[in-house]
A and B are shown apart, each in its own frame.
Chain A
Amino acid sequence: MQNNRKEHLYKILVIGDLGVGKTSIIKRYVHQTYSTNYRATIGVDFALKVLNWDSETVRLQLWDIAGQERFGNMTRVYYREAMGAFIVFDVTRPTTFEAVSKWKEDLDSKLTLSNGQSIATVLLANKCDQKRDFLTNNSLKMDQYCKENGFVGWFETSARENININEAANFLVKHIIASENDILKSVVPDTISPQLNSDKEMTCSYWLSLD
C-alpha cells in the first residue's frame, strides 16, 4: 500500500450568461489551451481536473452549463451535489453582469450544503484582457457587491491571456475544503480544525489585495 494519499472529489459548477467564456475558462484550466473555435455549449459539458493539494489529491468535476437556460428545472438536475461554483460574466457586456444576481439566486434556491449554507461561489469577471471594464476598475465596489450577494470572492480573468484562472480555482478549492471542514465540525462537535479561521482570513486578504 504505497499510495496512502487522501482523495477528494468535488463537483464544481460553471454558470453565467451565454457567450461570457465559461467553456474557454474550463478549457484553459484543464487543457491549457485557448481557441476561438468553441461552439455554444448545449445542456452541459463535463471536464475533469486533478490537483495535488498538499499531500492529498483533489479531483474537480467541472460542469460547464449552457448559458441559455430554457429547460426550466434542468439546472436543478445539474446542480445536485455540487460543492462550489463559478459565476462568470463578460466585462465588455454589462447585461451579463446584471444577470449575475439571477444566477446566484437560482443557485442558492436550488442547492444548499447539509448545514444549510450556500455553496462556495466565486465571481469571475472574464475577458479582462479586452480592457473595456465598465465596473471592475472599481474593486472596492466589487468587494462590496460580493459581500452583499454572498460570493466568497471575485477575480478578473482572461481565458485568452491565461490571467487568474488557476488562482481563482485554487481560491475556490480552499473555500470548498474550509466549508467541508465546517460541516464535519458541525457533525462531530469536538473535532478541532485550528487552521480554519486563520485560513479564511488569509484567503480573504488575498483577494482583497488583487489590484
Chain B
Amino acid sequence: MIDCWWQYSFMQPNHIRVCVRMSSKGDAHQFSGLYMIIKAVFSLLSEVGVEQAVLHRQHSLPHRPVIPLVAHMVDQNTSGTPAMTEREASRLDKFRQVLAGPNTDLEELRKLSWSGISRQVRPITWKLLSGYLPANAERRESTLQRKRQEYFGFIEQYYDSRNDEHHQDTYRQIHIDIPRTNPLIPLFQQASVQEIFERILFIWAIRHPASGYVQGINDLVTPFFVVYVFEYIEEEVENFNVSSLQEEVLRNIEADSFWCMSKLLDGIQDNYTFAQPGIQRKVKALEELVSRIDGMVHRHMQQYEVEYLQFAFRWMNNLLMRELPLRCTIRLWDTYQAEPEGFSHFHLYVCAAFLVRWRKEILEEKDFQGLMIMLQNLPTMHWGNEEVSVLLAEAYRLKFAFADAPNHYKR
C-alpha cells in the first residue's frame, strides 16, 4: 500500500513537498511508477504556472478578461509575439534543437510536445507526429511532393463523380454541412475554403466506403487546416483572406490537411462505421470509468436518469471539439499526437476528467432537464491553455491509475 500526498505553500511558490509512505518493502518497486506520474504532473504544472493551476483546483474560475470566441485562435501563450515569455522562448528553442538534425528523434519530439507545441513549429511537428512526414529530413520534400500529387490525382479521378447517382447523397450531405462548419469564424465562410473542405471530405468519404461521410468528420478537418494555414502567415487566422495566398500554397495546405486528417481517422475508424461501434464502446467505458473515479457524480446521473450516450456521444464523435473553443482543441491535439493512441484511447480519460471537472455544477442540478441542458452547454468559452493543461494532467493521472488495474480501485 502506498500513500502519497503533496503540499504546496503560497509562501514558497516554487516548492512542492511530496510525501510518500510505503507500508511494506514490496511496495518499493511501485514507487518508480509513482515517481514518474508525479514528475509528469509537475512538469506539466510548471508549464501552466503552478500558482494558477493550484488556484484553479481550489476555486471556481477567478475573474478573467473576456477572450473572444475565436480570437487568438491558436493559443495565447506561444504566439511568437514580443510578449513571449522566457519559458516559452526556451521551449521553442528546445523544439528547434530537436527538429534541427538530419533525423528527428520522434520520441524526444513526443515528450516535448506532450505539454504543448510552440506555434512556430506546430505545423512541422504535427506532420511528423502524425506520421505524414518521415523522421529523415532529406526525404521530407520528396514525400510532400509525392503525397500532394497523389491527393490531386484523386481529385482528378474522383471529384467529377460527386453528382453521379451513387455518390450524390454523400456529396449532398457534405455540401449541407460545410457552410455550418465553424459558422462563426469568417475564414470558413470564404467560398474557396468551403470548396477545399468539400473536396477533402468527399475524397475521404468515397475512399472509405465502410464509413463514408459521417457528420462530425467535417469538424475534424478544421484544426489541421488552421494550423497549416499558419505555416504561411503571421497574422491572426480567423479573419484571414485566403485569396491572398498563392494558389500553390493553398493547394499544399489542402493536401496536407487531407492526409493528416486521414491519418487521424485511420486510428478511430470504428467510430464511424455502421452503428458506430467505437463510440458505443467508448461511451460505455466512460460510464464505467466515471463510476469508479467519482461514484457520487455517477449516482447523481443515474438518479435523474441521464444516460451517458445522451451527452457523451458528441464528445466521442467530435473529439470534444463541440465542447471547447477551437484554440483549446488545437492545444489538446498537441498532446493527442504526442500520446500513443491519443485520439482513440487517451481521449477517454480526457472525457472522464472533463466530466468530473464539472462535478460541482452537476451535483447542483436536481432534475433531468437541468442536467442535460447544463451538460450540453458547458461554459468553456473562456478556456485557454491553462485549463486544457490542467485537464490533461488529470487525464494522465486517471490513465495511470485506472488503465491497467480495472478492478483494483473499485469501491
Which residues of A are at the interface with B, using a C-beta cutoff of 8 A?
18-19, 36-40, 42-48, 59, 61, 66-68, 70-74, 77-78, 95
Contact = CB atoms under 8 A, between A and B. Distances in A.
A125 to B, nearest CB: 18
Nearest to A46: B372
Nearest to A47: B373
25 contacts: A19-B177, A37-B184, A39-B182, A39-B322, A40-B176, A42-B215, A42-B314, A42-B318, A43-B310, A43-B313, A44-B313, A48-B373, A59-B369, A66-B215, A68-B173, A68-B215, A70-B215, A70-B275, A70-B276, A71-B279, A72-B275, A74-B276, A77-B310, A78-B310, A95-B172
A73 B309 CA distance: 12
Interface in B296-317: 307, 309-310, 313-314, 317
B214 interface: yes
Contacts of A18: 173, 176-177, 215
Contact of A74 (B180, B182, B309): B309
Contacts, number: 78
B126 to A, nearest CB: 24
Contact of A77 (B172, B182, B184, B307): B307
A44 B308 CA distance: 12
Contacts of B118: none
Contacts of A43: 309-310, 313-314, 317
Contact of A48 (B180, B272, B276, B369): B369
B180 A71 contact: no
Contacts of A68: 173, 214-215
B376 interface: yes
B80 to A, nearest CB: 30
A73 B372 contact: no
Contacts of A95: 172
Interface string B320-336: 00100000000000000
A37 B184 CA distance: 7
B224 to A, nearest CB: 18
A175 B176 CA distance: 33
Given A40-B218, A46-B373, 20 more contacts: A18-B176, A36-B183, A37-B184, A39-B322, A40-B176, A42-B317, A43-B317, A44-B313, A46-B310, A46-B372, A46-B376, A47-B373, A48-B373, A67-B215, A68-B173, A71-B276, A72-B276, A74-B309, A77-B307, A95-B172
